[in-house]
């Protein structure tokens, strides 16, 4: 790709991605801070701050922020992760600079007014309660705590009821002042965009200084030397469970082999787990696998929702499939289909200006380089059956297995599940 990159004297990084024959511009402002940066006392503050940034600036009310984007047919949203927070908007090309103006105003000059802070806190608390009422979501939070016990990475991104209830507006002002500085931000614009115009506009909007800090979160520690389990007995219509292991960081040389492994096991409806657990045995409606990559670690997860009486059988089938992929290399035709699916998904994702801006930002903010689609495709296609087997053998070991579960499963069944957690 013909990327254009600039860095202002105050440290703000700007990347433009010109995309021919597009009539829109996708703009994202990435801030290098997320839940891993938080002390336990203020757990959830990155996410709470993301909410507050939408609640008004020195120039705009909450309503004006939304109307200036959505009122002209645009898209406006944000998300908070473990290592970054992102604010993004998509507008017709003629209004691209309007999107930047609104986003920069939010990131730089959100007022965090006391009355808005007081009004938004209950909203965040209700969001936390909502997640706890959704077993398919909460079981993943339980897994994070199991994988990274008493570490920031293992805490829920939204925080806890206690931490959010206790944090103050002063805490949030100090947190924003520390991290929402130009040197800790990156602006990505993709589509019908001119780099010089974007550079000029960013220089006008980001006039303050601040270079941010180098990595300030503690490195993840993987202490596991035996299988671990966590059960939440609750009356639900289904049992929701997750099987997971520690996995590779986003920078690991075997990242692409891990991605192919994920696709083979549970990445789509052609995957082994979908075929065996759902199609052949009818044990689950939803069965899937996924990978999460961070700066220094990762997670490989398999999740399912099953009828209570089928929990043990479903777990047995999943573990059997892990054993199969360890013992025998995948056939060439199956491997080729998985790699082609990954490459095609990447190509289709990058047709959209907003998706492209998010894709570039996610990789450039920490990676220190701008991703090239052709290079990524080549890395995917270079993965061999031997690579997949080697990665699976290192990852899927009995001592590395973890199981979290929510549902009406009694103690006797829990004990049997613990004993069966073996490859």
Point out the residues that are catalytic: 50
Q: What gap in Å lies between CA 23 and CA 336, rounded to an integer?
A: 35
- Nearest one of 230, 218, 194, 199 to 414, comparing CA atoms: 230
Half-sphere exposure of 324 (CA within 13 A, CB side): 14
Task: List the alpha helices (DSSP H) in 191-234.
Answer: 195-205
Give yes or no for a contact between 288 and 274, defined as CB atoms under 8 angstroms apart: yes
Q: Are 257 and 340 in contact (CB under 8 A)?
A: no
Tally of CB atoms within 10 A around 14: 21
Task: Say whether 314 sits in a helix, a strand or coil.
Answer: helix
Beta-sheet strand order (sheet of 75-80): 4-7, 13-18, 185-191, 24-31, 85-92, 75-80
Residues 6+ apart with CB under 8 A from 21: none
Q: For residue 75, count other CB atoms closer than 10 A to its CB.
A: 14
């Amino acid at each position: 790709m013909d990327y254009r990159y600039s860095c202002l004297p105050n440290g703000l990084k700007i990347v433009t991605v010109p995309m021919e024959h597009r009539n829109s511009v996708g703009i994202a402002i990435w801030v290098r801070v997320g839940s891993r940066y938080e002390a336990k006392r203020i757990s959830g503050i990155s996410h709470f701050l993301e909410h507050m940034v939408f609640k008004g600036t020195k120039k705009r009310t909450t309503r004006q922020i939304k109307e200036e984007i959505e009122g002209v047919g645009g898209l406006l949203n944000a998300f908070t992760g473990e290592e970054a927070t992102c604010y993004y908007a998509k507008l017709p090309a003629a209004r691209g600079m309007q999107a930047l103006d609104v986003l920069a105003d939010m990131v730089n000059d959100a007022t965090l007014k006391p009355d808005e802070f007081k009004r938004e806190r209950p909203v965040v608390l209700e969001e936390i309660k909502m997640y706890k009422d959704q077993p398919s979501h909460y079981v993943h939070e339980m897994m994070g705590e199991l994988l990274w016990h008493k570490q920031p990475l293992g805490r829920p991104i939204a925080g806890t009821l206690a931490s959010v209830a206790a944090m103050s507006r002063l805490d949030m002002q100090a947190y924003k002042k520390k991290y929402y500085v130009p040197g800790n931000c990156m602006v990505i614009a993709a589509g019908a965009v001119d780099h010089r115009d974007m550079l000029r506009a960013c220089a006008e909007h980001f006039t303050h200084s601040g270079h941010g800090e180098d990595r300030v979160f503690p490195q993840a520690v993987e202490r596991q030397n035996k299988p671990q389990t966590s059960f939440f007995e609750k009356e639900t219509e289904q049992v929701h469970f997750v099987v997971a292991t520690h996995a590779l960081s986003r920078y690991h040389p075997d990242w692409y082999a891990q991605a192919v492994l994920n696709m083979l096991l549970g990445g789509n409806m052609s995957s082994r787990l979908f075929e065996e657990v759902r199609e052949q045995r009818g044990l689950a409606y939803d069965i899937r696998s996924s990978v999460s990559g961070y700066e220094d670690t990762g997670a490989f997860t398999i999740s399912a929702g099953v009828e209570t009486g089928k929990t043990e059988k479903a777990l047995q089938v999943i573990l059997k499939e892990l054993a199969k992929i360890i013992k025998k290399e995948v056939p060439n035709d199956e491997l080729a289909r998985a790699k082609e699916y990954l490459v095609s998904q990447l190509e289709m994702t990058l047709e959209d200006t907003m998706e492209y801006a998010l894709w570039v930002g996610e990789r450039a903010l920490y990676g220190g380089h701008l991703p090239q689609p052709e290079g990524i495709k080549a890395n995917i296609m270079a993965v061999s059956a031997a690579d997949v087997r080697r990665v699976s053998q290192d990852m899927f070991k009995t001592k590395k297995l973890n199981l979290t579960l929510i549902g009406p499963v009694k103690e006797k069944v829990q004990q049997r599940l613990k004993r069966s957690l073996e490859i």
